[in-house]
Structure formats: C-alpha cells, structure tokens
Structure 1
C-alpha cells in the first residue's frame, strides 16, 4: 500500500474513513494505527484520545452494537476483517442516517460522539480496537438502537439469526423509540453580568451560571459537573473592581478569580477538549501605543490589569481557545453611559476625564462576535472586539450622551485623569484603549460604529 493517509467523508457528518499504510514482509505487517501529526494533517479531528480498548472475537459472525457513546473514538482492526455499520443517533436532520463499510487493517474509521457504532466479524480470530477520548465510566450514559431495526435496515453479511449476538444487544430499542443524543452544551459563566445578559438573548439553549452557582474563586467550584457534555465554555466572569484591586483584600480576590480560578477552568477545558472563550480587557496594556493589536506584548499598569494579563497567558496555552479582548463595555446594567444619561436628566453637571481615549463596546455586539467566531470556526487565538468609528475620550462620549438626551453638552467639564482622581486613591489606567479591529473584520464580522450603537442604546433607555 502507498505511504499516504487518505481521509474520506461519509453520509454521516463527522464520520470519516481513513485508509492508512500497512507495511508487510514475510514476517507479517506493521501499521501506525494512530499517528496524531500525520492524521490531523490529513484532516482527522485532533480528538485527544486517552484510552485504547481491544475486543477479540473468536468466530466469524460475532455482531456487537449499535452503541452511541458520549465520546469520540477511532475504530480499527488489528487482525481479521469486519463489516462495520454506523447510525447517526444525534439530534438533527441526519438522525437515522446509516453508513456501512468493510474494515481490514488498512482502514480506520473516526466515529464522532452520538453516532451509533456496530460491527460484525467476517473472519475468525478478529481483533477489533477502539481509541477513545474519555476514560470509560460506569456512570456514562449510552444510546442504543436495535441491530435488526427495520428503519435502519442494515444488510448484515451474516444474517442476525445466524450471528452471535448478546441478549442485551437483541433487546435494544427500535429507532422510533430512541431519544436522539443532544449536542454538547454551551456553558456561560458570569451569567448575571452585562455580557451574560446579552448572551442569554443569543443563546437561549445554553446553560448559564452566575457567581452564586459557580464562583471561580472557590477551589471546588468546578466539581460535580459532567464536563464531557460541554463543547464550549464562555467565561464572562471576572473580578472587575479596578480600584479595589489595589487594596490587600482586593488584590487577593482579583488573583483568586482572574488567575487561580481561571487556571482550574482551563485545566478542565484542556482535559475534556472544551473550547474556552475568555473575555479580556484593554487594561492588559499600558496605553502608550496609539492602537493596540492582538500580538502586542502585555504591559499592565495595575493589579486588575496584571490579573487579566496573567489570565490571558493561561488561556492562550490551550489548544482550543478564543480570547476576546474588549474595552469600555456598555450593556444591560450599571455603566458609564447610563450614569451620564441619569446625571443629565437630573440636572447634574459632571466633570469627566478627557485624556483617556478609546471606543465603546456594546455587549450585544460582543456576544454576536463570540457567536461569529464559534459559528464560522475561525482560527483559535486572540481577537480584539469593540465598536468601530473614530476614537473618543470619556468626556467626548459624555457630551454626546448629553446631546442625544436633549441636554447642553457644555454642561460636561473635561478634566485630566490626574485632576479627576486628585482627592482619592485609584488604580492606574491606560490613557489609550483603542483596539485594532483588523483581525475580527478579516474574519467576516461587521464592526458597527459606536456612535450608531450609542444612539440605539439611548433610545431604549427610559
């Protein structure tokens, strides 16, 4: 056989067949049954196997299945030959789709989670192997369909009446009685924050956990969940009290949530092949550059920024991650725009910082960008996400809010950061928070202008 690995799709989405080289001579043969570098380069998912099992079958006609397990697997034959049958038992339009193929030592089949797997031996002394990406557990929930189901209608080479089939397999339900395997879920942490609320609108079927349900600062917070059931975790939770983080108590809390707790979450995601979407901040920069790109070295000024930078380093080590870096977040909750609108309506004339420059980021757009990255399977990595348009200072934005609310913008008094914090302790802040949006735009996401979003946001306020 040639030295090339070929990967062929099938009628079942995600189920692929690999033809692999088998090298033989008068002594026997040798094959690389699992070769991560070569197989992933050829198109096999990098599914992270952790356990290898072998099933030895003494007689031809031994028939096993149809079992859909809560993990992915790579099935093959070490000796002999089988007739393999696969049935899509996943929720969706392909439920019930069947694919069959003969498998000998030169062929390998990747079976995604939720696809029922079965085989019938065509030769005696057949050794069937399967490589899986979760350790077997007696508590794992399986989905089954009967080997002789009339709807599935598998044309077994050796009729089932003449085959060796276990009583348990003969008792499996018909397809009409099978509950489809649901997709792996999305878990959103920080569900009660501004971004969490925006994500609720776009991900109604996701699972949401606020701080009371899952507090990353608690060492045992991640215990008790069946993590293999999740495909994505969106971490919108963080300690964000920028000024309090400079105190001894705040420093401890910030590091507990933003770094140590995040490191535990990252370890879980690595183990279970979960894509982690993590929210980052402009505070990881010192604000000395006119525009901050994704690859700029992190130069945080204060404790909050230091913990966010450390968190970015933790998440960036994962094979499957998106770091979504944003700035000046505005959504459903307490924020700068709401405060300025309230002050203007109450007749209060504020002093607002004029030497910090950036762009607003509206949570609906951040949430949409996250779904865009996940939905398009954009390359993993860091993406800046904020509104577009001309950068402005906090004072410029405050004046714009006053004008849109029908108030005189000159009621806003511009001051420097030093003047604003002259009478109280405060964390250092980056003076320039403008994020380069080239990468997210190149991915196909349309970045809105912050002025347009501000007008829409204010119209929705009472």
Structure 2
C-alpha cells in the first residue's frame, strides 16, 4: 500500500481520554518520502502534551499477521510506523470510568498516535517488512507496575483483521488475563510534603486516603538530603505538593534559624524543582506575602517584583524563583495563615478567656487565609488544569489590621472588643531583646487571577467565625 501524501497536520480525538491520533504530512516523490515524525513545537501547538520522550524503540516485523500483545506500561508513548502498515488496538487499563474502552485504527507512515500512561497497546502487521516505532518518556524498569490484557478478550472484542487462530502469538501473550481479572494501572501518585503541619493536615482532609496519595514528614523525606533525587521512583509521581516550610520569621534572623530557613525554604524547593523537571511532575509550592516589602499602595499582583525585607522573606522569594523553573508549577502566595495548632487567632481567644487585655499591632494590613481554603485552592487548580504559574490565595473581603482581627475574635466568642489596644509595630517590638524580622506593612494580595479560574475564596471574617465555632 502506498504512503498517503499531502495530509495536513491535524489532531483526531479518540474515545480513550488523553489518547489522540495525529495525521502527519508526508512529502515524497519517485525517490521516496520524508516526514517529521515528532515535531515538538508544531505538535504542542495543536494541544499535544510535551511528554518528554527519553527513548526511541523500533520493532521490525518481517511477516504479515505478526501480532503483539496488549501491554500497558506506566509511561506515555508516541507510536508511529516507519515502513509498512499495522492494525493498532488500544484498551484503557487505567483506574476510572474509561477502564475497558477500546479504540482501533490502521497506522501507516502518515499517521501517529499518542498513547497515555496505562493504556494497553497492541498491533497486528498488515504488510511485510513493517517497522513499528515508539518514543517513550521513561526507561524500562523491573520496579515499574505493568498490566496486560488477553488479545482474545471477549469484553474488548477486538475485530482483528487476521483471526488470532491464524497468527503466531507468544506464549506470554496467550496467557494474559481477561478484562475482569486485569489489575488496573493506578494514577500517578500525589506526594504531600509537610504532612503534619497546619497546611498538611488541611490537605489530608481535602485529599483523603486514596491509595495514590502519599503523605510525608521531614522524617520520611528530608529535602536537605543530597540523595533526594533517588529517594523515590519519581516517574511514578504526577504531583508533589510542598506544604512544608520554615515559618519562624523572627528566629530566621538568628544564625541557626537563618541556615534552617535557607535549607527548608530555598534549597529544598530547588531540589524539588529539579526532580519535577526531570520527571514531568507538577510541583505545587506555597509562598508568602513576605516576598514583598509592603510599600505598595494597592494589593500586590502575582507579577510584581520581589522585594523581601527580612531573611524569611528572602528565603521564600528564592524558593519561588527556584520552583518557577519547573515547567509544571503552581506557586500559591498566601498571607496571615491560620490552621490547626498554635496561631494568632487561638492566642487571642485564649487571652480573652483569661481576662488579659492585649496590645495588638494596628499598622499592618492584610487578610486572613485559612488552611482549608489553601487546600481547596490547590485541589481546584489541579483538577481544573488551570494554567501553570503564580496565584495569590487569601481570604476575601475588606482589608484588616491585626488589631481588627483580634477584636473580631474577642467579639465572636462573647468578649468586649474594646479590650484590644492598637499599637504600632515599632511600639510592639520596642522591648524585644532578640532579633525581629521586618514585617511588610501592606500584605494585601490581589485575588483577580485565582478568581478568573473559577475559585471563590472564603470571606475572611465569615471563615473566622466558622473556625472559632
């Protein structure tokens, strides 16, 4: 059969999610033909994922009817034909609603197909001397998880052009299970770091205990370990959520704290960014309003220049820059975070109950951010496949000072808010004997970008009332 010349490069959807056929332009004359089998710029422009191939394999088949079994591997494949023609059959063997979906099509040099991770792949040659080629984005490993389906499975009911009884099939392929007995390929894993921190606990509540969700503490996985790159089979992971950080802003001004802050907030994220880049992982990282100097007369936007005042802010800014080098990244900038454990709101509530009338800073302006809102925003960005980049995530509503927040706490739990005395930051820290980190006076962050994705942050004072109740 002659190669089909003159096609336009175009995408054809299939019933299997994520799997697409590409019609390829082939240019030829009496001497032969030429095609661009994989052209990253053109194909990603059509919506194909830049799946990062690392290996190119060729299977040569000299006889018509050569039939290869239905194998599903934990990597993506770009399948095409260099010479000859095949009948290709694909069966979705991934966990989920599309499990068992079948798609078949003939491939010649003018047609290719992108096969997502976990979709079973097989073919039958229709011409002699057929060269079947495939690019893959991982190296074969005995530690990887594979799945297989019998070529003759009655549920898939593949209509092979040449009956299976007339072709040679390997012994292994003959004994693969029917669909009812197939072990589905699980989704790529999600790893949550800092799992016992206040955001980590909120993420546990939001993500649950599905088999593909892993939670790790610093004891389980130390970002300072130079061997981090080999600590896991990272190709099995699709998402890393870095919920851990060094957050003692004043201790970061001291020598020991400075070192710890740089390791946790800058060096660790840089290592994660390298791992994410090398393995096609989406990296989610949580940042802070402290990356800005707080001198703006408006809420800070995501693209505003970084200008941290103290060591903590400097380490967070460095972490942001490092994480942004990963092609697939979400950086969530927050302010005034409240979750489980010791925090400003709990402290104010305790003082109110003990009859103490505190002095609270009234020249810093921002909005509270509750950890369940941050967790909800992370889930939203991942599920909606929002454009990668930086997003501000705080509570919504009018700006407030720390003194305003303290008064709201007192009022909500039935105490007189006038017991709060507002003071300046300079007055508050006037008697401090240890180093104090400079605070941004304006911690307001613009929410326009996260709102445009369809996410609705909680109103800060409504969330405060819910938290205290």
| Aligned match of 2:332 | 324
2:252 paired with 1:245: yes
Matches within 5 A, 1:386-397: 386-397=394-405
Instruction: Report the counterpart of residue 157 of structure 2 in structure 1.
Output: 153
1:458 to 454, 465, 468: 468
Is contact 1:217–1:253 with CA below 8 Å preserved after alignment? Answer: no
Offset of residue 189 of structure 1: 0.7
TM-score normalised by structure 1 residue count: 0.97
Q: Does 1:338 align with 2:342?
A: no
Offset at residue 141 of structure 1 (A): 2.2
Aligned counterpart, 1:277: 284
Aligned to 1:382: 390
Shift of residue 379, structure 1, vs aligned partner: 0.8
Describe the SS at the equivalent of 1:75: strand
| Structure 1 CA distance for aligned equivalents of residues 354 and 391 of structure 2 | 39
Aligned counterparts of 2:463 and 2:143: Cα–Cα separation in 1 = 49
Distance 1:372 1:445 in 2: 7
Mapped partners of 2:16, 2:44: distance in 1: 19
2:137 and 2:333 map into 1 onto residues whose CA distance is 31
Q: Which residue of 2 aligns with 1:61?
A: 65
Alignment of 1:88 onto 2:92: yes
1:448 counterpart (444, 447, 458): 458
What secondary structure does 2:230 align onto?
A: coil
Cα shift readout 1:22-52 (whole Å, capped 9, x = no counterpart)? 1111111111000011011112111111111
- Whether 2:297 is the aligned partner of 1:293: answer no
Q: Encode CA deviations 1:124-143: one digit per residue, 9 max, x unaligned.
A: 11100000111222332210
> 1:223: Cα distance to partner?
3.1
- 1 CA distance for matches of 2:100 and 2:359? 65
Determine the C-alpha separation between the residues in 2 that align with 1:164 and 1:414. Answer: 85
Tell me what 2:240 maps to.
233
Distance in 1 between residues matched to 2:431 and 2:206, nearest whole Å: 43
Structure 1 counterpart of 2:428: 420
Among candidates 427, 435, 440, match of residue 445 of structure 2: 435
State the Cα distance separating 1:439 from its structure 2 match: 0.9
Pairing 1:73-84 to 2, within 5 Å after superposition: 73-84=77-88
User: Once the 2 structures are TM-superposed, how far is the Cα of residue 265 of structure 1 from its aligned partner?
Assistant: 0.9
CA-based RMSD of the aligned residues comes to 1.1
2:113 pairs with 1:103 = no
CA shift, 1:221, in A, is 4.0
Worse-matched range after superposition: 170-179 or 71-80: 170-179
Please say if residues 7 and 23 of structure 2, whose CA atoms lie closer than 8 Å, have aligned partners that are also in contact.
no
Q: Distance in 1 between matches of 2:370 and 2:232?
A: 32
Question: Residues of 1 paired with 2:118 and 2:227: CA distance?
Answer: 30
- CA-CA distance at 1:4 after TM superposition: 2.7
Q: Which residue number in structure 1 is paired with residue 365 of structure 2? A: 357
1:331, distance to aligned residue in structure 2 (A): 1.0
* 1:11 counterpart = 2:19: no
Q: Distance in 2 between matches of 1:218 and 1:69?
A: 30
Distance in 1 (alpha carbons) for counterparts of 2:256 and 2:21: 56
Which moved further from structure 2: 13-22 or 219-228?
A: 219-228
Distance 2:390 2:300 in 1: 12
**CA–CA distance in 2 between the matches of 1:247 and 1:153?**
69
Match of 1:185 among 164, 177, 189: 189
Q: C-alpha deviations, 1:218-270, integer Å up to 9, x for none?
A: 32345331212211111111111111111111111111111111111111111
Distance 2:130 2:43 in 1: 24
Q: What do the CA deviations read for 1:405-435 (whole angstroms, capped 9, x no partner)?
A: 1111122121111111112220111111000
Deviation by residue 1:375-423 (Cα, 9 ceiling, x = unmatched)? 1111111000000111111111111111111111122121111111112
Give the distance between the partners of 2:428 and 2:135, measured in 1 at CA: 62
What TM-score, normalized to structure 2? Answer: 0.96
Contact 1:148 1:160 in 2 (8 A): yes
Q: Secondary structure at the match of 2:295?
A: coil
Give 5+ residue unaligned stretches, structure 2. Answer: none
Cα distance in 2 for residues equivalent to 1:228 and 1:184: 8
Alpha-carbon distance in 2 for matches of 1:270, 1:368: 25
Aligned pairs, how many? Answer: 459
CA distance in 2, matches of 1:221, 1:11: 39
Q: Please say if residues 6 and 42 of structure 1, whose CA atoms lie closer than 8 Å, have aligned partners that are also in contact.
A: yes
Output the CA distance in 1 between the equivalents of 2:462 and 2:142: 55
